[in-house]
């Protein structure tokens, strides 16, 4: 008796292990419709359930096999999903189908391809199904509802795109016209240049402020004084004084009626003195330095053009009131 109990106790774990092992040695496939009967245009699910030993590779079904059937149409094809892996492999794949033909739609056995753990490839098939498609039930004529009115959507900014496009065209036209106006507008006339005597008098003032001869730069002082005088002669009397000798300048100005003998003599002395300082290295007495600048200033003031008298001023000056 004790020996029998011991043998039973030893066989119990082995029986549990054998009970946990899968009893399925083959791959089975089963197809199932959610309903056996539908109304034309209704949509139902066709489910394919597969059971196989662990380690088996099952390939998903293609929806084209159902879509090619007469009277059947696949709306959506789902992926093959795993329901359980032990003690046996359970898989499921669903297809949402419909039909627009009344009558009977036959769904033949669908092939399921698989590969065993040992690498053997094979095929199993589902059972065939029959789907009944009924026609739509038409109510009596009195029950037909009237046509619903058109639903009008609320307006938004996109409904007025044409107004924005027109505004953009107007703004572009105004911008183009303004650019043309600015391009063709006459540039303001530049201010008239200062008169030659004004420039000469300003440069003489700047020369005086530099105090060149006080710093022992007598030659630089007379070079700048001569340049101011020659520049004034060239601008005032239109002779190339900057490129002419002293004799050429005095000869060119001898023929001018607005240049008297005294002024010609004064000009000749100023130019000869400057030539002596620049070329003969002569050094005039210190009291002559400011005097020569003053002589150039007096020469510029005396030879500047007379101010123009406006017509109104001339009439006012010659009125009987002023002559009395």
Mean pLDDT over 98-124 rounds to 90
Mean pLDDT over 16-38 rounds to 70
Most confidently predicted of 2-16, 33-47, 125-139: 33-47
Mean pLDDT over 273-279 rounds to 74
Task: In whole angstroms, give the CA distance from residue 29 to residue 49.
Answer: 6
E-strand ranges in 99-180 read 103-107, 111-115, 121-125, 129-134
User: Residues with Cβ < 8 Å from 272, sequence gap 6 or more?
Assistant: 246
CB atoms near residue 58 (< 10 Å):
20
In sequence order, which ranges of the chain are alpha helices (DSSP H)? 2-20, 64-67, 161-184, 196-210, 218-237, 246-254, 261-279, 288-303, 311-317, 320-323
How far apart, in Å, are the Cα atoms of 244 and each of 136, 197, 230, 239?
120, 20, 9, 9
Predicted model pTM: 0.40
Task: In whole angstroms, give the CA distance from residue 296 to residue 49.
Answer: 123
- State the pLDDT confidence band at 141, using cuts at 50, 70 and 90: low
pLDDT at res. 257 = 65
Q: Does residue 127 register a pLDDT over 70?
A: yes
Of 154, 140, 194, 166, residue with least CA distance to 304: 194
Q: Are 297 and 204 within 8 A, CB to CB? A: yes
Looking at domain 22-134, its CATH architecture is Sandwich (2.60)
pLDDT digits (tens, 9 = 90+) for 288-304: 788 888 888 888 888 88
């Amino acid at each position: 008796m004790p020996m029998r109990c011991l043998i039973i106790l030893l066989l119990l774990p082995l029986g549990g292990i054998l009970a946990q092992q899968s009893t399925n040695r083959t791959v089975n496939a089963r197809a199932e419709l959610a309903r056996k009967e539908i109304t034309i245009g209704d949509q139902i699910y066709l489910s394919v359930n597969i059971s196989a030993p662990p380690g088996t590779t099952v390939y998903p079904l293609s929806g084209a096999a159902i879509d090619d059937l007469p009277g059947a149409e696949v709306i959506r094809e789902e992926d093959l999903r795993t329901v359980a892996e032990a003690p046996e492999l359970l898989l499921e794949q669903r297809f949402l189908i419909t039909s627009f033909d009344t009558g009977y739609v036959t769904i033949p056995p669908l092939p399921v391809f698989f590969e065993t753990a040992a690498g053997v490839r094979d095929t199993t098939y589902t059972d065939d199904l029959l789907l009944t498609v009924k026609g739509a039930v038409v109510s009596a004529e009195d029950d037909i509802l009237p046509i619903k009115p058109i639903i009008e959507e609320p307006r938004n900014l996109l409904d007025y795109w044409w107004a924005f496009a027109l505004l953009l065209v107007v703004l572009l036209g105004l911008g183009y016209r303004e650019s043309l106006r600015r391009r063709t507008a006459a540039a303001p006339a530049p201010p008239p240049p200062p008169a030659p005597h004004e420039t000469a008098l300003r440069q003489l003032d700047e020369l005086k402020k530099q105090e060149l001869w006080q710093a022992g730069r007598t030659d630089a002082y007379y070079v700048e004084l001569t340049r101011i005088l020659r520049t004034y002669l060239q601008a005032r009397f239109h002779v190339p004084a900057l490129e002419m000798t002293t004799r050429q300048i005095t000869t060119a100005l001898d023929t001018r009626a607005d240049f008297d003998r005294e002024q010609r003599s004064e000009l000749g002395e100023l130019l000869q003195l400057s030539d002596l300082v620049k070329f003969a290295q002569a050094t005039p007495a210190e009291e002559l330095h400011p005097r020569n600048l003053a002589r150039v200033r007096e020469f510029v003031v005396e030879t500047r053009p007379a101010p123009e008298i406006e017509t109104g001023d001339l009439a006012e000056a010659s009125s009987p009131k002023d002559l009395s």
